[in-house]
Amino acid sequence: MLEKLLSAWRARRVLIVGCGDALTPWIHALLTQLGARPACIKPGYTAESLCQAMRSGRISALIVPAAHALSSGSLETQLRAVSTLLDEAREAGIPLTLFCSDVSVYRACEHVWYAREEDPIGGRTHEGLIQSMLQLYADGMSRGLMGDAVTTLIVRHMPCLGSLHPSTRQYTQWCRSLMDDEPLYVEHPARQGIFLHPLDAACGVLMLGARYFCEEDMRENVFNLGAGPQNLCANRSAALRFQRQNGSARPLVESEPPLPPQSPLLDGSRAKHLCGARCIIPGDAALCQLLGHLRAVQSGEEQTYIDAQTRTYLERIR
């Protein structure tokens, strides 16, 4: 797995369109450790700034770690942002765009189920509906329905720890509460939570890109990266283990706020077959690493922490 990543990404210039999301710093760190030459541009770009960034070097790949963060506002505004991005990629001759999203685009039922690439999309939230339309647009451009084709791989993954997604926000707050020696507030204690480290999602994304650069037959351009069973556990039990592992004995404070729509679990079987993507950081370890990350941010050593964790991760997949 590591050999394929190294051979595919070494010395490539990669432009990452992202800033402030959970995935961008880890993708950047992974690419750097693999010998690539990544650069970042913030969302909210103009066509001119995007064109300049793409033409400043021979860019081999464009990565969008959080497609929902490209632009805020109306659907028209967000479609314009995606159109500008892919139009400029076409004009610059960039061979591959990786378009990532943790917003559920599936029309999920109330119960937990496994969503596959061929399942109906449309979302059960406003954000999910908008994102499904943006992905349909990107898919159309990838298939040449709006001019020359722009090869785009759409990668859907579960929300990562450290993201602002409603399903993960409370876990960041657990870490902050532990740092401040305060009780942990556990929302929906019996509900299953997803504890996915962004390194696992980032590695899956780059492995799909590596398969493309190795000229393997991808057949389709939409993929799910699912969380593994070791990343799924009830919120109460996860919080109790988290406290015990980090020396806190404060009682939990449990609550049942209004229940947001539940995201479906993603069936990542096809992505696993294609790229070997699998979660290797268990949920408990991922949560403790989030705590370490926030402590590093507090002490001004975030980049050092990210680089160290990335090197350790690559050693594990060697």
pLDDT in tens, 194-251: 999 999 999 999 999 999 998 887 778 899 999 989 999 999 999 999 999 999 888 9
Structure-block tokens of residue 226: 């699912």
Is 64 in contact with 78 (CB distance < 8 Å)? no
Phi and psi dihedrals of 167, rounded to 5?
-80, -10
pLDDT < 70: residue spans in the chain = 108-112
pLDDT value of residue 19: 83
pLDDT value of residue 111: 60
pLDDT value of residue 112: 65
pLDDT value of residue 180: 94
Structure-block tokens of residue 133: 């339309």
Structure-block tokens of residue 286: 């991922």
- Residue 35 DSSP one-character state: T
> Computed over its alpha carbons, how large is the radius of gyration of the chain?
19
- Gap between the Cα atoms of 229 and 231, Å rounded: 5
Query: If residue 265 lies in a helix (H) or strand (E), which one and from where to where?
Result: strand 265-266
Is 244 in contact with 252 (CB distance < 8 Å)? no
pLDDT value of residue 110: 58
Please name the residue ranges forming H helices in the chain. 2-9, 24-33, 47-55, 75-92, 126-142, 169-179, 198-213, 235-245, 269-275, 283-298, 302-316
- Amino acid type, 178: L
**What CATH homologous superfamily does 2-159+197-227+264-280+303-316 map to?**
NAD(P)-binding Rossmann-like Domain (3.40.50.720)
Is 133 in contact with 229 (CB distance < 8 Å)? no
